[in-house]
Structure 1
Amino acid sequence: MTEINVWAVLVAAVSAFLLGGLWYGPLFGKAWIRESGADPQKGHPGKVFGGAFVLSLIAAYAFAMFLGKLPLAEAAFYGFVAGLCWVATSFGINYLFAQRSLKLFLIDGGYHTLQFTLYGVVLGAWH
């Protein structure tokens, strides 16, 4: 296992957290709420956002272990592939069985594809 740059992991997690704020806020927030049936008034914001950030840290750290010290372009490519072909497709399988909409799949799968691409960019740029 290669040495992990914890600062790069932290920045990667923050970047994905900020992307999520834009993605599920002004970009696709209303459509996501409509398609998911979520009630934004439920759940304590500290628990929701704190939990999301901790999970983002875990994902970024695990991805850093997976990537090692790959160059930026290769790390970004692997991030894209991981987001699209592992995470988004896994959501797709669940969404098919749960009979969720294609629109919801595209919103969530698109976010996670960009999330892992960002992880790759940050981790590839900053070993």
Structure 2
Amino acid sequence: MLITLKLSMIIMLISMLMMMMASILSKKTFMDREKSSPFECGFDPKSSARMPFSIQFFLIAVIFLIFDVEITLLIPLIMILKITNLIMYMMISMFFFFILLIGLYHEWNQGALNWMY
């Protein structure tokens, strides 16, 4: 027990010493022009990388990803159809569809699905 404690302390000391030396010896420049600019095949960018985008498109994309992941959760329902009885299968699948419909209704009610506000 004592040997394990000593070895863990030595390992911790060596790793902290290596991290401190790496941070002291590294040549970091935070205002480097090439690192702060977006990479565009080695050339200077033609326009600003901070171009505005449509927030409605972003919301629709996020909602699509959320519902797409939830739809992939339906795949195990197909697999358990063989090992469960029909009534239990229908109850589980209807409960899952009900949760999906509640989420869709909430997004619709919040106005996230309207393209124009």
Highest RCO, 1 vs 2 (Cα 8 Å, sep ≥ 6): 1
- TM-score w.r.t. the length of structure 1 is 0.32
Q: Which has the higher helix share?
A: 1
- TM-score w.r.t. the length of structure 2 is 0.34
Structure with the greater alpha carbon radius of gyration? 2
